[in-house]
Structure 1
Amino acid sequence: MADAYTTLWTNDLCKALIGGGFAGERLSVLFGGPHQSLPSFMRAGVRPGDRVYPVRVFRKRMWVLGSMEVGRVLEYDTVGDHLPMEDYLRLIHWKPLKAGCATEVVVGPPGTPLTFDTPVPGDVLSELAYRSRRGERRIKHVVDGELLRAVSVHGIYRLAPESAQALEALVGGRTVLS
């Protein structure tokens, strides 16, 4: 059974994507690495068929930016050997996502359009939970529907099934912009 994950994007990255005209484009590439600023999808256990939801924390709210299905997780150094030219060109197009030293690339079919205007409602945020081998945990530092600190969402985390459904409901109805 496929899992769903969130990955936190910085506000600087979101500003760069907005300024670069990426809003409305369908997400199809993600980068991972060994550092906290660019965490590893492999280490998080992300596999083909899983779904990834980039999120942003801004002005005490969590914003879900889109989603994409994972097609392949590849080592960055050998990605050119494994991808057809069309996918390699998408990788180059999404270069702003490659912050720091990337060691892996997640590619997949085009996901939902990338938007920066979908906040996670406070009641949903209060119930959002992550799942690990030790069990489920709710996001910390949520008070009255506001996220006071992003520390518990910083990284790549596997969502509990109900939380994955809640995020999918927020992004699933997006239409593709031409």
Structure 2
Amino acid sequence: MANSYTTLWTNDLCRYLERSGYAGQRLTMLFGGPHQSLPSFTRAGVRPGDTVFPVRAFRTRLHVLGALEVSRIIPYEDAGSQLHDDDYPKLLDWRPLKGGCVTEVLLGPPCSPLTFGTAVPAGLLERLTYTSRRGERRLKYVEEGRLIRSVSVQGIYRLAPDSAAELHGLVGNQAPSAAKSASRT
């Protein structure tokens, strides 16, 4: 059964990507590592078939930046030998995403375009729900549809199926198989 996750990107990274012309490019890979600044997707439970939504907390709003349906997860140290000749340049193209110690690369088909203006509506923000083995939880520090603090989205967290479906709807223009995996969760 496929799951969906969010991962928080810093405002510095988002500003850099905006200024460097990444807006509108379709995500094809993400990077994970052992530190809080670049957390591990595999440790969070992400597997092939899952979808990852990068998000940004900016001016009391949560922005969904895009989506990547994971087709493979490979160790970063093996990327040069395991990536096809067509995929290796993508590794270099998405170099700004790999800050710090990188240990893993998530690969996927081109999914939704990267966008920085899609804010999660206040109603959805108030009911956005994550799930884990311990149960479900809503975002903390949401007041009157505004995200006061981003601490409850820092890291990689699995979305509840209804919340995942709503984020899929916000992202739009995603790969058809990503929409199917939202309905399977």
Tell me the TM-score normalised to structure 2 length. 0.93
After the TM superposition, list the runs of 4 or more consecutive aligned residues in structure 1 that deviate by more than 6 angstroms: none
Corresponding position of 2:106: 106
Alignment partner of 1:142 is 2:142:
yes
CA distance in 1, matches of 2:12, 2:132: 29
1:173: Cα distance to partner?
4.3
Secondary structure of the corresponding residue to residue 39 of structure 2: coil
Corresponding position of 2:68: 68
Alignment partner of 1:87 is 2:87:
yes
Corresponding position of 2:181: none
Alignment partner of 1:42 is 2:25:
no
Corresponding position of 1:97: 97
Secondary structure of the corresponding residue to residue 63 of structure 1: strand
Corresponding position of 1:167: 167
Cα distance per residue 1:141-177 (max 9 Å; x no partner): 00000000000000000000000011001012479xx
Corresponding position of 1:133: 133
Corresponding position of 1:29: 29
Corresponding position of 1:120: 120
Compared CA separation, residues 174 and 69, structure 1 to 2 (3 A) = closer
1:92: Cα distance to partner?
0.7
Which ranges in structure 1 are unaligned for 5 or more consecutive residues? none
CA distance in 2, matches of 1:76, 1:27: 17
Secondary structure of the corresponding residue to residue 81 of structure 1: helix
1:71: Cα distance to partner?
0.8
Compared CA separation, residues 174 and 132, structure 1 to 2 (3 A) = closer
1:46-61 correspondence to structure 2 within 5 Å: 46-61=46-61
Corresponding position of 2:78: 78
CA distance in 1, matches of 2:147, 2:95: 29
1:119: Cα distance to partner?
0.2
Which ranges in structure 2 are unaligned for 5 or more consecutive residues? 176-185
RMSD value, Cα:
1.1
